[in-house]
Structure 1
Amino acid sequence: MKKVFLTLLAASFITVGFQKANAQTPYNTALGLGIDLGDGQTLVGPQIKHSFGGANAGNAQVLFGDNHVLIGADYSYNRQFPGTNGLGWYVGVGPQLSFVDRGNDDDTYFAIRPAAGLEYKIPAAPLAFHFDWKPWWNLSNNTNFEAARFSLGFKFTLN
């Protein structure tokens, strides 16, 4: 039942994202540092976000922690708040693979991570920041849902 729900949720986000919209990200590509924090371990590593036109964007990251590597990619639907200069919101979802080294017992986890957040691009500088709620919905190795997960990002924007 969870897999059916996740498939429908992902399909909904993709369908909404492919609708024609005006440019909604104030840059084309950004490179930076991602921080994943909350309940459990804090992970840090590089990330890249790229706008595919309109409100559609993709984000990829490789994050590291103690004996832990997370690889993920997300689709996001992005919109700017009317009357603001550089402040926007986004919702998205994407798959994540997590590799945990426990010495003799290594584990690999597959998760779906929805995200809802805010992003601010400084108008006079090539810098952007984001904060989002990004829960961890593990679908393997004793499935579980961790609601108290968040992400921060600090990016250098390229046009």
Structure 2
Amino acid sequence: MKKVLLPIFTLFIMLFALNNRANAQTPYRTAIGLGIDIGNGETLFGPQIKHNFGGNDAVNAQVLFGDHITVLGVDYSYNERISGSRGLSWYVGVGPQVSFFDYDKGYKHNHWKNDDTHVDFAIRPALGLEFRIPAAPLAMHFDWKPWWNLSHGAHFEPSNFTLGLKFVLK
């Protein structure tokens, strides 16, 4: 597990070290907060960080936790402000997810039957809205984020969504 967390930690450090300035397309440069993944199945929650590289490009990284599962994910997104609004933007993106499952003996899940532990790889597209509160260092998002599992019981789950509340650092 430590070998997996080291690259994620390195990514966080690199994002904070960047000195790129976001232009008018992005309402902030870097924000950290809490992400919640809801939908068909287990609700997951955990920390996330979003960094806008300027223009329309951003990266969002998250570590989500639930019963018997930890999910690491990084998403690229194309972001654009909605003209005429203050702080509202839309985005579309995609990114890989790695899920670590650890079930107690005897626990059975509908996709994985009798396995105790395993790792899944998935691709997660996203389509959403984000609102940066103009007078406060806060942002929130809501998106449709289906889960396309590519390994160990491969399947597509379209009814997943994420919510997030972030504190804007810069």
TM-score, scaled to structure 1: 0.85
Does residue 68 of structure 1 match 2:79?
no
The within-5 A match list for 1:7-156 is 23-103=24-104, 105-156=116-167
SS of the aligned residue for 2:60 comes to strand
SS of the aligned residue for 1:27 comes to coil
Which one-letter code corresponds to 2:168 in the other structure?
T
What's the CA shift string for 1:67-107, capped at 9, x where partnerless?
11000000000000001000000000000000110135101
Structure 1 runs (4+) deviating above 3 angstroms are none
Structure 1 gaps of 5+ residues are 1-20
Which one-letter code corresponds to 2:143 in the other structure?
D
Which one-letter code corresponds to 1:99 in the other structure?
F
Which one-letter code corresponds to 2:90 in the other structure?
W
CA contact (8 A) 1:62 1:70 kept: yes
* Greater Rg by CA: 2
Q: CA deviation at 1:57?
A: 0.2
- Rounded to whole Å, the distance in 1 between the matches of 2:95 and 2:24 is 22
- Rounded to whole Å, the distance in 1 between the matches of 2:158 and 2:51 is 26
Q: CA deviation at 1:22?
A: 5.3
- Rounded to whole Å, the distance in 1 between the matches of 2:29 and 2:53 is 8
Which one-letter code corresponds to 1:95 in the other structure?
P
Which one-letter code corresponds to 1:47 in the other structure?
Q
- Rounded to whole Å, the distance in 2 between the matches of 1:146 and 1:140 is 13
CA contact (8 A) 1:23 1:55 kept: no
- Rounded to whole Å, the distance in 1 between the matches of 2:160 and 2:121 is 16
- Rounded to whole Å, the distance in 1 between the matches of 2:54 and 2:80 is 12
Which one-letter code corresponds to 2:161 in the other structure?
F
